[in-house]
Structure 1
Amino acid sequence: MSESLELYDVTIIGGGPAGMYAAFYSGMRDLKTKLIEAKDELGGRMLIYPEKMIWDVGGTGPILCRNLIEQLKQQALTFDPTVVLGQQIVGQERLEDGTILLTSSTGEKHWTRTVIMAIGYGILEMAKLDIEGADRFEVSNLHYTVQELEPFRGKRVLISGGGDSAVDWANELEPIAASVCVVHRREQFGGHERNVVRMKQSSVQIHVPYTVRQLHSSDGCAINQVSICHEESGDTLRVDVDAVIVNHGMRYNFGAIRDWGIDMGEWTANVSDKLETNVPGIFAAGDFVDYSSKVRLIAGTFTDAVLATNSAKLYMDPEAPKVAYVSSHNERFKEKNRALGVIDEDH
């Protein structure tokens, strides 16, 4: 490896909550850190629902998701890691000296001693409405994500879907929209039970088992009516709308990462309780991993990040402390505490 090329201790692939917290904790462990995110901003899957309220992060909440993302970003940058945006990592090669060479889809190269995979379910793609010509309404009133609630105030909103996102948006929009109609192809909803009950007890109109069959536009620019069809009888209804939100889930794609030799199931990597993959020097965290005590909450990704980072540190230096000193006793925070006007009790 040329001396002009920068070598990092740990390179984190993925800028969601697991990746951002790993960048922070890696700084606590005094590791030279790089964080690479395929999209042009940090946040991961949380970027899909910026207006949702998050209640289940310890010591924080309730908090708007976009505000939590911002706090995680600021925390991730505490120790000045190198952050690379807009690069999808596809290649991984072990060099003779043990260094790992990562390559992006556009040819950029990154050299690192260890890797933490925090890639969630891979590259996310919204499942689009399978109706010819639907894409032309994406610039007007056909939505696959909800970035803000206010544009829907006083509108007649139709939501197609029955999972967590569809149920959550129905509940969030019901107080401000003129009307909310939910169309789902099954009798049962897949959202959290409490949220489903709340939706059913509200003014939300529910059509099950129905699917969206046709979009109608009087001017060719925006949808003003939607035809929905009963899955069993074939009966069709027309619903007047001002906006359509489609929540048919996500399509996930790991791409070339499946060729890295990592022991993976359909959606997750199998890791040890120390968040080690079967490939030496490659660790993982967040939604990408599965192990016996895995907790699938945002809060759980933070623990994953800590475990993966500790394992990366010990992989490089088996004699290092097994964990970082807590922030109240960690030397890396002394200068930062003084900058905040905090008196150092040791002096």
Structure 2
Amino acid sequence: MSNQLELYDVTIIGGGPAGMYTAFYSGMRDLKTKLIEAKDELGGRMLIYPEKMIWDVGGVPPTRCHNLVGQLKEQAQTFDPTIVLGQQITNQERQEDGTYILTSATGEKHWTRTVILAIGYGILQMAKLEIEGADRYEITNLHYTVQELEPFRGKNVLISGGGDSAVDWANELETVAASVTIVHRRDKFGGHENNIRRMKASSVVVRVPYVVDQLHSINGDTIDQVTISNMETGATELIEVDALIVNHGLKSDFGPLRDWGLEMGEWWTNVSEKLETNLPGIFGAGDFVDYKSKVRLIAGTFTDAVLALNSAKLFIDPTAEKVAYVSSHNDRFKEKNKALGVSEDH
């Protein structure tokens, strides 16, 4: 079988920030690279929150999530890696020579010397509102994500949830909506402290510890009122709404990956400080991995990508340099700089 396939040095599974930056850095290290993404486009979990403002990437001013995805896509293709979309890798088989044959859910095969798993939290699904009949409103004004802010302009918006995305949405919508109310079952919110402080200092109405208890509709097509109930006292309130946004977290499914023999927990796999899994030649990066000094930010994901790729390079060639040269001294960028009209003297 392997004789019929093209051999790659590195195959990256997952097309989120970790996977895209790994593809870029793999090009810096002059490795033959393939990136495989289960969905039909790159972006990973960032595709869920296209309008979310990203503040914490070094050197990048506050930018919409979809803009950062576009920049990462462009960067990922700098050295022309092979990019495969719409294939979920379900199986791996190590060959006698140490290489791997990867198989997708639809039967496609891929041959590689090393694998870097950048699959985030696996196949993600939004946790739905557990109220009977709620699904009927999903085509009108019950939302599980915010794709654009403009449809909420001048609306009375109720947000159910207390994670970082719920807080971010409350802050973003406060600038366009007529009113924003956020209900959360606990007193403590998730997310960055500054964002929580900003939300509480704004016009956003914060109701804790409350949950959405009932949905009310006049015409049967849209939610017009929501009953919220106090988790401690049982007291209820009726709130007029034009839109309900539910952010109760994500459900993760790693599927057949759990049968690979990786040392996995519920949400991630443990790796060494060199981003090595317990399987030889298979490394990890991004939200999928955990280690002692792990930083769960996009900026930390980029560091994971570099560490994992350097480990893959040394796995292939133990005599190789431990890291890539910086871009100003890297031969891979000479032709790229000429194409940009940049002189070697600058």
TM-score range normalised by the length of the shorter chain: over 0.9
- Offset, 1:49: 1.8
Q: How does 1:1-347 map to 2 (within 5 A)?
A: 1-345=1-345
Question: What's the secondary structure of 2:107's corresponding residue?
Answer: coil
Separation (CA, whole Å) in 1 of partners of 2:104 and 2:63: 34
Counterpart code for 2:161: G
Separation (CA, whole Å) in 2 of partners of 1:189 and 1:310: 37
Q: Is the 8 A contact 2:213 2:228 kept in 1?
A: yes
- Offset, 1:210: 1.5
Separation (CA, whole Å) in 1 of partners of 2:294 and 2:30: 27
Counterpart code for 2:118: A
Separation (CA, whole Å) in 2 of partners of 1:191 and 1:297: 11
User: C-alpha deviations, 1:69-93, integer Å up to 9, x for none?
Assistant: 1100000011111111121111111
Q: Which runs of 5+ in 2 are unaligned?
A: none
- Offset, 1:130: 0.7
Separation (CA, whole Å) in 2 of partners of 1:198 and 1:290: 30
- Offset, 1:2: 4.5
User: Identity over the aligned pairs, expressed in percent?
Assistant: 76
Counterpart code for 2:186: R
Separation (CA, whole Å) in 2 of partners of 1:337 and 1:276: 33
- Superposed structure 1 runs of 4+ greater than 4 Å apart: none
Task: Indicate the RMSD between aligned Cα atoms, in angstroms.
Answer: 1.5
Question: What's the secondary structure of 1:175's corresponding residue?
Answer: coil
Question: What's the secondary structure of 2:199's corresponding residue?
Answer: helix
Q: Is the 8 A contact 2:91 2:257 kept in 1?
A: yes
Counterpart code for 2:177: A
Separation (CA, whole Å) in 2 of partners of 1:111 and 1:184: 48
Instruction: Give the structure-2-normalised TM-score.
Output: 0.96
Separation (CA, whole Å) in 2 of partners of 1:32 and 1:191: 38
Task: Classify 1:330/1:191 alpha carbon distance in 2 versus 1 (closer, same or farther; 3 Å).
Answer: closer
- Offset, 1:274: 1.1
- Offset, 1:135: 1.3
Counterpart code for 2:233: S
- Offset, 1:123: 1.2
- Offset, 1:239: 1.1
Separation (CA, whole Å) in 2 of partners of 1:316 and 1:233: 62
Moved more, 8-17 or 131-140: 131-140
Q: Is the 8 A contact 2:57 2:299 kept in 1?
A: yes
Counterpart code for 2:213: R
User: C-alpha deviations, 1:214-241, integer Å up to 9, x for none?
Assistant: 2122222211111212223322222111
Q: Is the 8 A contact 2:2 2:101 kept in 1?
A: no
Counterpart code for 1:223: I
Separation (CA, whole Å) in 1 of partners of 2:283 and 2:10: 10
Number of residue pairs the alignment of both structures matches: 346
Q: Which runs of 5+ in 1 are unaligned?
A: none
Separation (CA, whole Å) in 2 of partners of 1:178 and 1:319: 62
Question: What's the secondary structure of 2:3's corresponding residue?
Answer: coil
Separation (CA, whole Å) in 1 of partners of 2:345 and 2:160: 58
Counterpart code for 1:139: I
Separation (CA, whole Å) in 1 of partners of 2:343 and 2:236: 70
Question: What's the secondary structure of 1:337's corresponding residue?
Answer: helix
Moved more, 188-197 or 70-79: 188-197
